[in-house]
A and B are shown apart, each in its own frame.
Chain A
Amino acid sequence: MTAAIDIRGLAKRYGDVQALGGVDLAVRQGEFFGLLGPNGAGKTTLISILAGLARADSGTAAVLGRDVVTQYREARRLLGVVPQELVFDPFFTVRETLRFQSGYFGLARNDAWIDEVMHHLDLTGKADANMRALSGGMKRRVLVAQALVHRPPVIVLDEPTAGVDVELRQGLWQFVRRLNADGHTVVLTTHYLEEAETLCHRIAMLKAGRLVALDTTANLVGRHEALRLRVRFDGEVPAGLRARLADQNGTARTFRLDGYGDVEPVLAALRASGCGVSEIELVQPDLEDVFVQIMHDDARAAQPERALA
């Protein structure tokens, strides 16, 4: 099956900054895919190239097999992008904005779908309000609606919940989840890792323009390196365990584990050296721990697997 998004050797430089340094990535059809990374990691550059808003220095990008440069019209018809910046055209109302966007994609009579999108994003009451009169959260909803007017099979949301209140965030995710369930591929960038962990099947992490992790959310969260054992005991840390020591707070020590199999040997070593253990806690990592670890630990960063097409 053709990949929803297929990116090969994508590189882009802005002056002295290597925004993307040769990224390979494939997103399968129907996936809910997370693209994570700190500011400046290259997420938005990657999306911009995919959307035709920027040109790559080298490499290719395709949406459902259509090259974004040589087959830009087909590629753009298949893609809906919610841009990160809160932009709007102050001349028009919500409905006008959506009708125009629909027309740009070649759809003349699209009011039924426009009404449905507005309904799901709770915009119906604001249909005839001027864009200028809307709050930030409302403007964000219109941006989402604009990206969906042409029912794109592939939807890219670039930090859609930045500065958005809880209610809208939940409503938005409910709608996007439904679209995903209906077969739309969804690619999401967000700084809310909890959101990514709940929503995304698979996650790619970018750092300084390079792919540093690509795996299912479950595998990433279950990464061995992120597992920790917190133990409280009196006395010195046995010499054999010093290499594993990640953190020390009074008598509470945290050891880095390579997997569940390490729990027993660590406890055995403590027993052998006669430490009086008073508290044991196995700390399950969440996506945030994994993210922080990957971003701060260049040497241990996993070699990116080549994504399956």
Chain B
Amino acid sequence: MIGFRTLFYKELLRFWKVGFQTVAAPVLTTLLYLLVFAQVLGERVTVYGKLPYTAFLVPGLVMMAMLQNAFANSSSSLIQSKVTGNIVFVLLPPLSYVEFFGAYVLAAVVRGLVVGAGVLAATLPFVALPVAHPLWAALFALGGSAILGAMGVLAGIWSEKFDQLAAFQSFVIVPFTFLAGVFYSIHSLPELWQAVSHLNPFFYMIDGFRYGFFGVSDTPPGVSIAVMAAFFAVLTAVTLALLKSGWRLRR
């Protein structure tokens, strides 16, 4: 347990020491999205009947920021350690695979939640946001960050160079989050694209998180959380198996 706690704490300290870049910067970026979209569409569009677009947008942006930052935390920590070689510091000690995985994922969750809370706090003065089911919102925030934290571990193990990780981020993480309904309700999409959206696991995270605020969603929250749990279970199983095999970490 001490090994796990230490690695977790070290991962927290790693992003906290450069908090300007890992917390403040993503909060600012997200606020810029909000500013631009709210300015362009805020007055003209309503969602779920009477919900103003700006209010609709906030939970989506918060979730997107949480997901992207959770992913960034574990993946960039691992790739930096691999490229610079200091990964040996965590490969030499008797850390178990589960401790290793758990510490990176949990630190990613914390980074995601801190960034999400930052965005939410910064929007509070400008946007009136109801909170229908805070526990659901918290559950989806946790679940989404954990899934992306685990994906970050997987991507960090897989990539051997910074550009491979950047490609994973640009061609997988960003498109999947963008197209998961951050900026729109999928009910506004043609039927085919509604169906396709249901294949995107990120959709359930954003839709469920939004349910926590508005009490309305495209998919029942119970279904969404079940899909996420299944996805997380598969990810965890795959990542633990890779860690155990030593793939791309132990030659």
Contacts and interface: CB of A to CB of B under 8 A. Distances in A.
Contacts of A100: 6-7, 9-10, 89
A94 to B, nearest CB: 13
Interface residues of A, number: 36
B96 interface: yes
Given A103-B5, A106-B2, A89 B95 contact: no
A91 B13 contact: yes
A81 interface: yes
B94 A107 contact: no
A226 B134 CA distance: 82
B49 interface: no
Interface stretch (B80-88, B122-130, B148-156, B159-167): B80-88
A201 B1 CA distance: 39
Contacts of A48: 251
B78 to A, nearest CB: 13
Interface string B66-103: 00000000000000010011101111111110000000
Interface string B20-37: 000000000000000000
Contacts of A105: 3, 93-94
Nearest to B18: A91
Contacts of A107: 2
A104 B6 CA distance: 6
Contacts of A254: none
A179 B10 CA distance: 29
Contacts of B248: none
A186 B43 CA distance: 74
B250 interface: yes
A124 interface: no
Contact of A87 (B17, B88, B94, B246): B88
Identify which of A73, A83, A104 gathers the most chain B CB atoms within 10 Å of its CB. Answer: A104
Q: Which 8 A-B pairs have the closest CB atoms?
A: A103-B6, A104-B93, A73-B94, A87-B85, A76-B94, A54-B251, A87-B86, A89-B86
Given A91-B17, A106-B2, 15 more contacts: A14-B251, A53-B91, A55-B250, A73-B94, A81-B92, A83-B85, A83-B88, A88-B84, A88-B86, A89-B81, A91-B14, A97-B89, A102-B6, A104-B95, A105-B93
